[in-house]
Amino acid sequence: MWGALQQKSGLATLVSSLKHGQVLERLVPMAFTPSRKLSTAAKEMTVRDALNSAIDEEMSADPKVFLMGEEVGEYQGAYKISKGLLQKFGPDRVLDTPITEAGFTGIGVGAAYYGLRPIVEFMTFNFAMQAIDQIINSAAKTNYMSAGQISVPIVFRGPNGAAAGVGAQHSHCYAAWYGSCPGLKVLTPYSAEDSRGLMKAAIRDPDPVIFLENELLYGESFPVSAECLDPSFCLPIGKAKIEREGKDVTITAFSKMVGYALQAAQELEKEGISAEVINLRSIRPLDRATINASVRKTSRLVTVEEGFPQHGIGAEICASVVEESFEYLDAPVERITGADVPMPYAANLERLAVPQVEDIVHASKRACYRAVPMSAVV
């Protein structure tokens, strides 16, 4: 939602996106005709529709792409991401599997070995733990072990991390788990544009991609440009996006936390702190260049993630910044993460166990040596 407001604020965001190497082919002419730009930016799309349309278009473009998972076909998808696909592509390309993750993941990887391009859906990534041997040992490592003979063009996708009140076994974030594994690519879309562009990139990519979605983002709407709606649209893997430019502190986030970081940036603005929000988009490869360039500009870093703190994404980002931009840091790196406990069910405990916007605001102020809020506005 906040991302939507940011993008509506106009050219500044577009220009900064162009600076960071993103190819926005058809946008440039449109940018010079403000009225047309307004009409193109006015179209909104939910993350759900973004994912659905991306998968639909890639399946239309390449007959080797097929989708398998629980309830993806007749049920139209547990979260309706695959709505209409069975009707359009038929049962040979949209397969309802039994509740047997280890088995169907192995089958998907085997099909990828042979040259097909499977999309394997996990109803949530918690259930993918039943299949993680196939993901790591059979998918991630095979191109290496076979010296390039057998590549694995597969996409594993599904909701990751906490939803609302679903308890300990259904709330785990796997970004750090998969992010540590060579051979995998790990993507974490936030907006509808991210979802479309990164999903298309993932399906077209020749390597195994872990595509970590978020259940609570599926219904959120974001503005999408005409360029984004084009079937040839694609976002580069391994490139973060500066969602909001700033000069005082860098906040990195991915998935749902990008929205929280943007809200925090709004709050910080009122207190005279200008925060730069980076939407990581890609956990592996991690866009260290963008992160470090930002920290060299702001000198302060707050990392935000939903997952557990130890050995998390923030830990890796902190190490990268300490290694490459140590002299630029003016304050210790701050980490905001999920609490170091299994996810509790009770509403008050759950609120304490996941990052809140005010946590990001506090940490940012600490990084700016302004732990006590200033009474005067700069």
Q: Return residues touching another protein (CB under 8 A).
A: 70-71, 74-75, 78, 96, 98-100, 102-103, 126-127, 129-130, 163-170, 309, 334-342, 344-349, 352-356, 359, 362-363, 366
Residue 62 amino acid letter: D
Give whichever of 295 and 361 is closer to another protein, judged by the CB atom. Answer: 361
358: number of Cβ within 10 Å = 12
Min CB(24)–another protein separation in Å:
35
Give whichever of 248 and 359 is closer to another protein, judged by the CB atom. Answer: 359
The residue to which tokens 């599904």 are assigned: 158
Give whichever of 34 and 342 is closer to another protein, judged by the CB atom. Answer: 342
Give whichever of 24 and 95 is closer to another protein, judged by the CB atom. Answer: 95
The residue to which tokens 């599926």 are assigned: 218
Question: What residues contact 96, with CB distance under 8 A and at least 6 apart?
Answer: 69, 70, 71, 72, 73, 74, 75
End-to-end CA distance of the chain: 27
Can you read off the two tokens belonging to residue 344?
A: 């509790």
CA atoms within 13 A on the CB side of 157: 30
Give whichever of 11 and 346 is closer to another protein, judged by the CB atom. Answer: 346
Min CB(372)–another protein separation in Å:
14
d(C-alpha 204, C-alpha 1), whole Å: 28
Min CB(190)–another protein separation in Å:
19
Does the annotation count 170 as an active-site position?
A: yes
Q: Which residue of the set 58, 101, 245, 316 is catalytic? A: 101
Min CB(285)–another protein separation in Å:
27
Min CB(183)–another protein separation in Å:
24
Contact of 185 with 284, CB cutoff 8 Å: yes
Give whichever of 27 and 128 is closer to another protein, judged by the CB atom. Answer: 128
Min CB(269)–another protein separation in Å:
20
Based on its alpha-carbon atoms, the radius of gyration of the chain, rounded to whole angstroms, reads: 20
Does the annotation count 101 as an active-site position?
A: yes
Q: Which residue of the set 57, 70, 170, 350 is catalytic? A: 170
CA angle 96, 284, 69 (to 5 degrees): 5
Question: What residues contact 227, with CB distance under 8 A and at least 6 apart?
Answer: 24, 25, 26, 27, 30, 40, 233
Can you read off the two tokens belonging to residue 40?
A: 């193109």
Residue 204 phi/psi, 5-degree rounding, is: -80, -15
Do the bridges between strand 301-304 and strand 334-336 make them parallel or antiparallel, or are there none, so unpaired?
Answer: parallel
Active site residue ranges: 101, 170
